A and B are shown apart, each in its own frame.
Chain A
């Protein structure tokens, strides 16, 4: 089955700096890669996703890149703000297999 690894487990940046979180996956059949943000005590919420037919997707300060050959994908947050502080989870799944596998999460702290 799919195995998703996420790094780093914690990340601290200064407000205004960029943050990068990386994930690797094992199943070459995976073709859907979402990123979820979870604030303390709250439910996970989708912030961006990418499908395997594209290599990069951007939404304002957030971007995701995908390298299918190397089986890794990354989340990039630019101009970080204190409200970006949360735990971020990557995940991987395939169209034929709906059991989405999540990484262990990255706790991002943005210091004002």
Chain B
């Protein structure tokens, strides 16, 4: 079956602009995660959804970052007033159960803020 997909694969933007990154999880997966991965680092947790609600957003670095999952499937990560330090690969992952277990990652969106 289809895996987790993310669009766009690459996004180049200018400092101060607004960007939206999209994640399509595996069909039927209730849990959805967003991570940020900088070069040479492990994925850094941003936010976790169980269904439509953000169950844990403790990893969002500041209020410029926001994510939604209005119908419990597709999720959008929104970044306002982008800064050069936001440049990274943004990974989405989904999981079929409420309890912690294997997460299936998407290919990521490489965000570059000039």
* Residue B42 lies at the interface, judged by CB distance under 8 Å to chain A: yes
Q: Which of B1-43 contact A (CB under 8 A)?
A: 4, 31, 33, 35, 40-43
Q: Tell whether, in the assembled complex, residue B42 and residue A100 are in contact, meaning their CB atoms are under 8 Å apart.
A: no
Interface 9-residue window, one of B61-69, B73-81, B104-112: B104-112
Which residues from A are CB-within-8-Å of B48? 98-99
Flag if B102 contacts A34 (CB, 8 Å). yes
Docked-complex contact B42 and A102, CB < 8 angstroms: yes
- Indicate if the CB atoms of B31 and A89 lie closer than 8 Å: no
B101 touches A99 (CB 8 A): no
- A97 at interface (Cβ–Cβ under 8 A)? yes
CB of A81 closer than 8 Å to a CB of B: no
**A104, B41: Cβ atoms under 8 Å?**
yes
Q: A34-B103, A100-B33 are in contact. List 16 more A-B contacts (CB 8 A).
A: A4-B42, A32-B101, A42-B107, A43-B91, A43-B108, A44-B105, A46-B103, A97-B56, A98-B31, A98-B50, A101-B45, A102-B35, A102-B42, A104-B40, A104-B41, A105-B40
B residues contacting A by CB (< 8 A) are 4, 31, 33, 35, 40-45, 48, 50, 55-56, 58-59, 91, 99-103, 105-108
Residues of A bordering B, CB below 8 Å: 1, 4, 6, 32, 34, 36, 42-46, 49, 89, 91, 93-95, 97-105
